[in-house]
Structure 1
Amino acid sequence: MAPKPVTSPVPVQWYPALSALLLVGGLFFTAFFFIYEATSSTRNRSLAKEVVIAAVASTFLGFGSLFLLLATGVYV
């Protein structure tokens, strides 16, 4: 039995749209994080909320960067 070639679970045509969508989402959550930090007082801040927002922003920006590299032909 011949081995099957490795293929992407996401169609290659979706890479540019996915990178734009994920990067915009990541920038939105990053901006939300900075606004939250600048406008809330020290007593009203929640560490759990900060960690969740930062993790979501980081995940979106990471996958957005990955799909941007894939869309431009840099296969990582």
Structure 2
Amino acid sequence: MAPKPIASPVPDALYPTLSLVMLAIGLVVTASFFIYEATSTRQNRCLAKELITGAVASVFLGFGSLFLLLASGVYV
């Protein structure tokens, strides 16, 4: 039995669109995090909300950067 070649689960044509969408979502979540930090007082802050918002922004920016690299031809 011949081995199957490794193929991406995402079509190559979707890389630019995915990078744009994920980077945009990540930047919006990052902006909301900064606005929350700038407008909330020390007594009103919630650590869980900060961690969740930071994690969501990090995931979207990370995958958006990955797809941007893939779309530009840098295969990582």
* TM-score, scaled relative to structure 2: 0.99
Task: Give runs of aligned pairs for residues 1-76 of structure 1, distance below 5 A.
Answer: 1-76=1-76
Task: Render the CA deviation track for 1:22-71: whole Å, top value 9, x for unaligned.
Answer: 00000000000000000000000000000000000000000000000000
1:32 is matched by which residue type in structure 2? S
Structure 1 alignment gaps of length 5 or more: none
2:13 is matched by which residue type in structure 1? Q
Percent identical residues:
68
Output the aligned Cα RMSD: 0.3
**Aligned counterparts of 1:36 and 1:27: Cα–Cα separation in 2:** 14
* TM-score, scaled relative to structure 1: 0.99
Structure 2 alignment gaps of length 5 or more: none
- Aligned pair count reads 76
**Aligned counterparts of 1:28 and 1:2: Cα–Cα separation in 2:** 46
Q: Where does structure 1 differ by over 3 angstroms across 4 or more consecutive aligned residues? A: none
**Aligned counterparts of 2:49 and 2:19: Cα–Cα separation in 1:** 26
